[in-house]
Amino acid sequence: MDKKVRVLLIGAAFSADLHAEGYARCPDLATVVGICDKVPERVHDLAARYNFKDYQFYEDYKDAIDNVDCDVVDICLPNFLHHDVALYAFERGRHVISEKPIATTVEDAYEMVQAAEKAGKKLYYAEDWLFAPALNKALSVIEEGALGRPMFYRARECHSGSHSPFTQTIKYCGGGAMVHLGVHPVSFMLAMKDNKWTELVAMTSGGGENNFLHTKMEGEDWAACIIKFQDGTSALLEANYITTGGMEDVFEVYGTEGRMQVDLTFSSPVKVFSIPGVSYAVEKAELTTGWTKPAVDEKYNLGYIGEIRHFMECAKEGKDARVGLRGVDGYIALKVVNLIYKSAKEGVKIVNDDLK
């Protein structure tokens, strides 16, 4: 494919904004030719924000996929809608990008993977952590042996809770904090270990009235998992909706000859003291008064820009994404998240029989 990759965005809200900046930053590779959302104002605001000019607007995703001449359908919708839109796009011969988690059920995720294979198209799984510059630097430090032999990892994503109505109900989201936030550290560690995990054990707050804080949320507002990998290393993975002060994304490594901590969200080189408050500091920060560390190019540092460029390079050549960003990786990550829920609910250790 010599020409630019033509992209149809399905959805024009929060995650679409993250992806749109990625497309705006790779004009040599991609062009947004269509945007679909049931709220026209959202579409026009998104297009104006990123200077998208020659695009078609639709309110119905089937109409959009049928009528927009595109190569890739980028699904930026609530979790429960990923499956149906992806299957329709594959039926119409399009590649698909799906936001995380790839679906709400393991069965739906598997069906998406199978549909891509049947159509001879690619399913890309949007896991931004894999393109975060700080995390890639951390991986290079590990690979050069600066920490000796890695033994144990800790990774977590936490904030004070989503206000989206779709994250309050398991039917629409697939779970609670672990599937919505914890899928990032889960996906990152699985990619790092080539999906070769051996066993896990987990606990959660339980959901509903058993939650620490969000008692009207069906899913859990706190979850943690210890997972072991085939190479003998282990990791503690955590996600919660009880962390105030802004989103916390942290990755830590403990080796035989050193240790390392990566802070994705609070590592800004800018430090500000403001009595009235700055307009924006970091995602999910409740206050910006007093001392803050406003994020610098947050979308780039969290990996969204590199992620989108990688997908466009792959779609241009009609090839798979790297490990961790393929549809099958999204399926495996969701499967592990659901096994975390099973372990927590039943109080049992889960062994990965697929490696036997």
pLDDT at site 356: 67
Residues of the chain with pLDDT under 50: none
Residue at a domain's end among 63, 94, 127: 127
68 and 152 belong to one structural domain: no
How does strand 234-240 pair with strand 150-158? parallel
Answer yes or no: is 319 within a domain. Answer: no
Pseudo-torsion of CA 130, 243, 291, 304, nearest 10°? 20
pLDDT at site 164: 87
341 and 219 belong to one structural domain: yes
pLDDT at site 355: 83
Environment class of 210 (CB within 10 Å of its CB; exposed 0-12, middle 13-18, buried 19+): exposed
CATH (domain of 163): 3.30.360.10
The amino acid at 192: M
Answer yes or no: is 35 within a domain. Answer: yes
| Helix/strand/coil for 36 | strand
Residue at a domain's end among 112, 127, 142: 127
CATH (domain of 70): 3.40.50.720
Answer yes or no: is 330 within a domain. Answer: no
142 and 82 belong to one structural domain: no
Task: Tally the domains of the chain.
Answer: 2
pLDDT at site 1: 57
101 and 143 belong to one structural domain: no
Answer yes or no: is 28 within a domain. Answer: yes
d(CA 259, CA 345): 33
d(CA 315, CA 272): 41
Please tell me the total number of residues recorded for the chain in this structure.
Answer: 356
96 and 235 belong to one structural domain: no
Residue at a domain's end among 89, 106, 127: 127
What is the greatest pairwise CA distance in the chain? 60
Q: How many CB atoms lie within 10 A of CB 60?
A: 11
139 and 122 belong to one structural domain: no
Give the residue carrying structure tokens 């709220």.
Answer: 39
Answer yes or no: is 308 within a domain. Answer: no
38 and 145 belong to one structural domain: no
pLDDT at site 144: 98
Considering only CA atoms, which of 181, 168, 169 is closest in space to residue 247?
A: 181
Model pTM?
A: 0.97
Give the residue carrying structure tokens 């080539």.
Answer: 194
99 and 136 belong to one structural domain: no
What residues make up the domain containing 49? 5-127
135 and 51 belong to one structural domain: no
Answer yes or no: is 313 within a domain. Answer: no
φ, ψ for residue 155, nearest 5 deg: -145, 140
Answer yes or no: is 116 within a domain. Answer: yes
Environment class of 53 (CB within 10 Å of its CB; exposed 0-12, middle 13-18, buried 19+): exposed
153 and 106 belong to one structural domain: no
145 and 123 belong to one structural domain: no
C-alpha to C-alpha distances, 263 to 97, 135, 255, 301, nearest whole angstrom: 27, 9, 18, 11
Q: How many CB atoms lie within 10 A of CB 232?
A: 10
219 and 298 belong to one structural domain: yes
Environment class of 56 (CB within 10 Å of its CB; exposed 0-12, middle 13-18, buried 19+): middle
What's the sign of the alpha-carbon dihedral 304, 301, 175, 167? negative
Environment class of 354 (CB within 10 Å of its CB; exposed 0-12, middle 13-18, buried 19+): exposed
- If you write DSSP's letter for every residue of 231-256 in order, what string do you get? TS-EEEEEEES---SS-EEEEEEEET
Answer yes or no: is 157 within a domain. Answer: yes
